[in-house]
Amino acid sequence: MKVLLINGSPHAQGNTALALGEAARELEKLGVQTETMHIGNKDIRGCISCGSCANTGKCVFNDAVNEAAAKLAEADGLIVGSPVYYASPNGTLLSFLDRLFFSTQGLDKRMKASASVVVCRRGGASASFDALNKYFTSCGMPVVSSQYWNSVHGMEPGEAAQDGEGMQTMRTLARNMAFLMRAIADAKAKYGLPEQEEPIFTHFIH
């Protein structure tokens, strides 16, 4: 089993990294392989809706998005972490996720366990948490819960480690994710994936 963790913070060793690291260590203890990508300080532009990925299976901009797409294809779970900026996830991360999820529509992500982690000084955590989870629920990825919403608090570098409840929430998240991934693997081997209908695409003109 393997989990891909995405760090959307521009600070590779900041509080978001601490939160994700706590989850990763717990996963490793449980025998789950982890890999963390730090994308928050990279020059990642937004989606330009060119449609190229529909033909090539990858984004026209060959950067960390395509690198992550290959890793996601091999992973059983995904955890995305972000600092809170104006009650929203980091803009670089949102551009990254827009392109990652749009350009991998041909990749069957159903039943890949998923979770988001947000780190803030004080407020905006729940709004950011909700925004990130919408990526997962649009493509059949089960969202893993913890003992509380996956938020950790801290402002100065290292302060997140002092949030006892936040760190415990990360460990609980990791244990729940490991359990769910194994349960899904067992069910998939026994029953296969749920039946999938041909997609119906509707908009409000016709």
CATH number, domain with residue 162: 3.40.50.360
Is residue 202 in a domain? no
Q: What are the per-10-residue average pLDDT scores of the chain (206 residues)?
A: 98 96 98 98 96 96 97 98 98 98 96 98 97 97 98 96 98 98 97 93 80
Give the whole-angstrom CA distance, residue 17 versus residue 81.
Answer: 8
State how many domains the chain has.
Answer: 1
DSSP, collapsed to helix, strand or coil, labels residue 146 as coil
Give the whole-angstrom CA distance, residue 103 versus residue 106.
Answer: 8
Say if residues 24 and 109 touch (Cβ distance below 8 Å). no
DSSP, residue by residue, 8-75: --S-TTSHHHHHHHHHHHHHHHTT-EEEEEE-TTS--PPP----HHHHHSS-SS-SHHHHHHHHHHH-
DSSP, collapsed to helix, strand or coil, labels residue 1 as coil
Residue with tokens 């119906």: 200
**Phi, psi of 93, deg, nearest 5:** -65, -40
Predicted pLDDT at 38: 98
Count CA within 13 A, CB hemisphere, residue 51: 0
Give the whole-angstrom CA distance, residue 161 versus residue 171.
Answer: 13
Predicted pLDDT at 206: 59
Count CA within 13 A, CB hemisphere, residue 125: 17
Contacts of 199 (CB under 8 A, 6+ apart): none
Is residue 203 in a domain? no
Is residue 206 in a domain? no
Predicted pLDDT at 96: 98
Is pTM beyond 0.95 here? Answer: yes
Is residue 173 in a domain? yes
Domain, as residue range, for 153 = 2-191
Is residue 37 in a domain? yes
Residue 37, beta-bridge partner list: 6
Predicted pLDDT at 140: 96
Is residue 199 in a domain? no
Is residue 81 in a domain? yes
Say if residues 127 and 88 touch (Cβ distance below 8 Å). yes
Give the whole-angstrom CA distance, residue 178 versus residue 36.
Answer: 16
Is residue 201 in a domain? no
